[in-house]
Structure 1
Amino acid sequence: MMKIEEFDVFVIGSGIAGQTVAEACVASGLTVAMADNREFGGTCANRGCDPKKVLLAGTEILEMARHLEERNVVSIPRLNWKKLQKFKKEFTKQVPAKTEEELSKLGVKLYYKSPHFLGKNTLSVEKKTVKADKIVIATGQVPRELPFEGAELLKTSDDFLDLKKLPKKIIFVGAGYVGMEFAHMAARAGTKVTVIDSGERPLAAFDADLVAELTDYSKQIGIDFVFKSDVTSVKKSKKKYLLKYEKKGELERIKAGLIINTAGRVPALAELELEKGKVAFDEKGIKVNSYLQSTSNENVFACGDVSNHSLPLTPLSGREGYVVSQNIMKANSKKVDVPVVPSVVFTLPNLASVGYLEEEAKERYKNVTVKRGAASDWFNAKRINAPLYSYKILINERTDEIVGAHLLGPHAAETINLFAMAINHGMTANDLQSTIFTYPSWGSDIKSMV
């Protein structure tokens, strides 16, 4: 009879959520194992936020230089994509080995395949049977599968972030965060870009007014948009891809050297055989209670992007991992408490948001003051000749508290953090106006916004 390996805790997924659980549980004396079917370290560090921001750095320089060309920059630099990719690898190359080394030093047993459930406490991994008192699912998300003919020919965000050379033309199928960010990068690097989406506009989760401004500016830098359109098929010839789509009942076609699936991501559950483990799930992820515990199997917890509780944002993954570790060690002693979380699209300019959208705020509160304005003639924008800088701040009229903030402009990804802090601590517009900030800084601008 095959020997069954036993652990106190088995973690599936090696991203920040899984690492947080493993480290805390080992420190408390529990035996821990971890499995991942890809490089250890998770999406963000290996093939997500971090490498994306490294590639973005090159286009940030281009953007600023182009804005200042008519003022004081004599010649525009060229982007060397190949060198930029080499620089990016300095950040990603060491992640898997370093993660494995740190986990192994702690005493975590590592497996290199995706496990699947055999029962409520039992898994099969690397053809071995493993039993654990508690099983933690932290597998994150994967690209959404698309339903049309030839969808398997599309590349993913992983492929884009590893491209050795940019083709002359790229099509992005999906106008969410990733599609818009990559479209901005590729267009600035000299590629002809088309973004196609079934919706009426990009970035449906963000303020419509600011998104409209960003969309107009995106067109100015050479991005073509095709909205209210459904892709019907993709075919590949020797050198190009042919994409057909339907718009207003008409069949249209476009060709490109590469087509990327940026139609969103879904919880990575396909290989786990959750039914055998009696683990309930829906399209949003594993069904969990306020302790991040499975609603149908008390031995299973889920944290990070894979639970139906979570927003797919890296800062939340670590927080949820901590909550799960506490509930494993101290029998459901900690409920998950999610603060108001800012989010950002790293286009240039950045689009950032925290708190309620305008329509949500007006449903929630009796009277909402909307502070909406363009700030492109303010000092910070003018000194770098930035063409786009706008804001929309939502204030509960009765209490003067900030309840939502939406920014479009240079460094909005940083400035939005001040509004996140203000909302989470119940600060009023007057509180912000009476705070002394460094001047002239982007942060100091918020006093004029409220």
Structure 2
Amino acid sequence: MMKDYDLIVIGSGTAGSVTAMKCNKAGWKVAMVDELPFGGTCALRGCDPKKVLVGITEYIDGVQRLQNAGVKGAVQIHWNELMQFKKTFTDNVPDRRNKNLQKQGIDTYHGHASFIEQNKLQVNQETLKGTYILIAVGASPVKLPIKGSEYFTYSDEFLELEELPKNLLFIGGGYISFEFAHLARRSGANVQILHRGARPLKEFDKDLVNKLVDYSRGIGIDLHLQTEVKEIQKTTTGYRVIGNQGKETKEFKADLIIHGAGRKPNTDGLNLENAGIKAGIDGIEVNEYLQSISNPHVYAAGDVTATKGKPLTPVAGMESHIVASNLLKGNSRPITEQVMPTTVFTLPKLASVGLSEEEASLQNIDYKLNHIDVTNWFTYKRTNQPVAFAKILVDQTNDIVIGAHLLSHEADELINHFATAIQFRLPAKEVKKMLYAYPTTASDITYLL
């Protein structure tokens, strides 16, 4: 028996939820399908639980930095208790989300969805037909051509570890590896990162990345660059990782190998070809309204799309709002470029928004660069932060901020002020007139511009 809907949403995370609820509120008959627990990556397996864990390590790091500055006594993380605390934020999400959707009148299905026709899906033993279908299934770890890749532990599994192994090895030098490496190191583990390129965290300012790399090594994270992993072998005591550094073969040992080498649009298994949906390595190909370029019944939002948006939760939420508007009002709201700050939640944190120096130069912008070591500024010295830097780019012709790059414990909050200035093209001279509460991190903005 086939069930008919006005809208079927595949995926229960941020990219799908807004559209589902808005269309349901407008009177549409809506269904939501997810083969994983309802709630999506961010709430269950990504940013939210990660931030809970990182938050605890911030306190540990603070106590260690302030020894002999009024603080006495050692503290340590008890990993199992930390994970139990994390679960208080995640365990009730799927059931709560499912009940909330059903209460609103949205039908929920737990199972794998795959296309059988342009607007028909197979879910378990049922066939669902949608006037429109929104694909919002996010991303998954990219497959690596490494012999022994079946021994990988993935980020979602790392966030469920009941006990933290003594020796960890991360493959890849991106967000996941650096954030989890800092978390694990401050929780007492020995940590290695193997990165095939010469520069990790390539989306961020290279000078500040170098500062973070130096600091990471200083706290005991063993980072190996230009190291290409060829094979993972299981041993009686753990794992052996074999890689090449130039012409030299290297061996590394660990109790756990974590995949941190990037993610890709999660389109495998959807049988997109049955619905004539075009997709490439960057995701589902959509027009400016987030509608499939080859199947008008289908829209896509979030990490699964081949748009220029960053793979971040706020972008997924924004795109879900856009899809809802275009479904309810006809294609009238195109996706527009949005200023989007991003942060690596290491300690110190690395944050960025707007243009880099290279990008500003390529656009022939006459810019002023304020590159400042703020380690000895009151804001950072009062908590004994060992490294704090800022890079601010100002378009001298138009007197507007065009880029900001920060490395400090407060970078994640401070970057939002610069994002606001860039988004609304606020004149730098006007931003400098703002009276901020003092002494706060934001009150330093006047001296950074």
SS in 2 for 1:118: strand
For the residues of structure 1 that align with 2:30 and 2:267, how far apart are their CA atoms?
A: 21
Q: Which amino acid aligns with 1:191?
A: A
| Structure 2 counterpart of 1:359 | 358
For the residues of structure 2 that align with 1:19 and 1:424, how far apart are their CA atoms?
A: 26
SS in 2 for 1:5: strand
| Structure 1 counterpart of 2:378 | 379
Map 1:228-239; keep pairs closer than 5 Å: 228-239=226-237
Q: Which amino acid aligns with 2:271?
A: E
Q: Which amino acid aligns with 2:135?
A: I
| Structure 1 counterpart of 2:286 | 288
For the residues of structure 2 that align with 1:283 and 1:89, how far apart are their CA atoms?
A: 34
TM-score with structure 1 setting the length: 0.98
**Does the CA contact (< 8 Å) of 1:171 and 1:259 recur in 2?**
yes
For the residues of structure 2 that align with 1:367 and 1:333, how far apart are their CA atoms?
A: 36
For the residues of structure 2 that align with 1:408 and 1:70, how far apart are their CA atoms?
A: 25
Q: CA deviation at 1:214?
A: 0.4
Task: Select the residue among 249, 252, 258 that pairs with 2:250.
Answer: 252
For the residues of structure 2 that align with 1:352 and 1:152, how far apart are their CA atoms?
A: 33
Map 1:46-445; keep pairs closer than 5 Å: 46-309=44-307, 310-445=309-444
For the residues of structure 1 that align with 2:68 and 2:362, how far apart are their CA atoms?
A: 46
SS in 1 for 2:421: helix
SS in 1 for 2:430: helix
**Does the CA contact (< 8 Å) of 1:365 and 1:396 recur in 2?**
no
**Does the CA contact (< 8 Å) of 1:291 and 1:336 recur in 2?**
yes
For the residues of structure 2 that align with 1:364 and 1:134, how far apart are their CA atoms?
A: 40
For the residues of structure 2 that align with 1:445 and 1:282, how far apart are their CA atoms?
A: 45
Q: Which amino acid aligns with 2:443?
A: S
1:5 aligns with 2:3: yes
TM-score with structure 2 setting the length: 0.98
List structure 1 segments (4+ residues) > 3 angstroms apart after TM superposition: none
SS in 2 for 1:199: coil
| Structure 1 counterpart of 2:42 | 44
How many residue pairs get aligned? The number is 448
**Does the CA contact (< 8 Å) of 1:284 and 1:308 recur in 2?**
yes
Determine what percentage of the aligned residue pairs are the same residue.
42
> Which structure 2 residue ranges, 5 or more long, are not aligned?
none
Q: CA deviation at 1:232?
A: 0.6
SS in 1 for 2:117: coil
Aligned Cα RMSD in Å? 0.9
> Which structure 1 residue ranges, 5 or more long, are not aligned?
none
Q: CA deviation at 1:337?
A: 2.2
SS in 2 for 1:297: coil
Q: CA deviation at 1:420?
A: 0.3
**Does the CA contact (< 8 Å) of 1:62 and 1:76 recur in 2?**
no
For the residues of structure 2 that align with 1:365 and 1:394, how far apart are their CA atoms?
A: 13
Q: Which amino acid aligns with 1:357?
A: S
For the residues of structure 2 that align with 1:429 and 1:67, how far apart are their CA atoms?
A: 34
